[in-house]
Structure 1
Amino acid sequence: MLKRTASAAALILALGTTPSLAQDADASTVVATVNGTEITLGEMAALRQNIPAEASAMPAEELWNLLLDEMIQQAAVASTAEGELTALDNANLANMRRDYLVRAAMERMADFEPTDEEIQAEYAKAFPADDPQVEYDADHILLESEEAANAVIEELANGTEFAVLAEERSTDPGSAQNGGDLGWFTLDRMVPEFSEAVGEMEPGTTSEAPVQSQFGWHVIKLNETRDVVPPTLEEIREPLIQQIRRERVSAEIERIAGEATIEKTEGLEPSLLDQDVLGIN
């Protein structure tokens, strides 16, 4: 996980400052004051974490001066805007602060190592032994109308080759040039109507009626099916760990939001968002 703070003593030693300062310094130690605004060692250490690796490898004194000069310049420019913040400025600052706090909280939630038992359970959930995933090898001809699709089905019944009709009639350029071949796929990769039709077909058969989807009308030929050979747990260990973390974070967010005290202001019209409440128009 990313760390937003660094040991002040370690930073000072790395930057070559005096031992006496290193003994007393912490994140609140002031390194400069610009127009009354303090810049702290903690802020400086946080900035260092966000610079490119090659810059972070600079000689200690050079890096210290680079960071401090940058922060002094930023503070000087920022001070000119402090007294002129608009409604939009304040709203954006509030949103940025909220967004940062959310991301920081989520990082803390995800900062754990799942147990071997949790990883095994996630693997079993993804690849249940009693319900193996199936892949399908199919061809299709995509047409713009039901009438055109029915005409293709009739020609197939009269002996015309599927690949020939796919090349001549299909409006799917990706598969038409390959005789309608879609290759191997799992049903979750296709639109629902197509997947439902393929799932009910037997290998070696062609759809008896056109299948409509958002793309048009399909005539489908199912060539064969096969069980998917799942990867080993070790091959996908890291993705499983990330999935466990995502699920833990999602559950924790739902819990926190569910326990929060929430009071929505009643009577406000959605059309208020169309008004120039930020004064920018």
Structure 2
Amino acid sequence: MKLQFPKTKRTIIVSFLILGVALSIIVGYWYGNSQQDVVATVNGENISKNELYELLVKQNGQQVLDSLISQKIIEFEAKKQNIVISDEDIQKELAKFHQSYGSEDAFNQALEMSGYSLDDIKKELTLNIKINKLLEPRISITEEEIKKYFDENKEQFAQQKQVKASHILVETEEKANEIKKKLSDGQDFAQLAKDNSTDTMSKENGGDLGFFGSGDMVAEFEKAAFALEVGEISSPVKSEFGYHIIKVTEVKEAQEANYEESKLQIKDTLFGQKAQTEYSTWLQELYEEYKIENFLEDK
């Protein structure tokens, strides 16, 4: 059973990997099976690699090729301008993912379930960082713009009260009461979660769910979690998923929005918005500078 607690489900935002996946299908599969004429059979009738390749090219080929051309141009420009992406640059970006998921472990679990690898993410982050560095000279953000964004989005920068909790999820109340007794007898919460919880997303981390705020969890779970003191363990709590034993491990109290503390985040947001607009214009200018021959367009 894969359990998703937040009403707004946690999903990895990997839109930037979509073209990479298409590329791996079209190119990686093609070359990886270059010695095989037959890629599948149905009742003994063959499907050839040529049929597969032609269909994939017809469906996605031009889009993927455009992406490859763009990537090649970006690499040339980055090299021309001596732009080098360090491991520290990549780690800073990864930290943003970790924060959005509550912890690095939670992010890694979601990543594993998505089918992508950390290397996939790092590769695409490297490309994105290069693009941002190349666009930086073309984008300016004023103090007035930052202040205006803050004033219009104050609620976004105010911190709700949040709790960090772990839980053990089981199917029956009887099982939940049995685990509660073991906890009262001094057994380890994390180990009991690993051994008993049906929540596959959190059990290997000892039931850790990271931080969450109001509205992130189903009502019964949230009400119980927010009523607990740090270190306190709940009685069994019934929800649509089963019976939970909840342990609160940390609390972040609510805070009003603070302009100075929010400036860097706002600047990143505004840069991202402007970069999306500027990217197409910038890339089109480079297309005109480079000699590009697209042989797929003639097919």
Give your verdict on TM over 0.5.
no
Query: Higher Cα Rg: structure 1 or 2?
Result: 1
Bigger share in helix: 2
Which structure carries more relative contact order (alpha carbon 8 Å, separation 6+)? 2
TM-score bin (small chain): 0.3 to 0.5
TM-score in terms of structure 1 length = 0.39
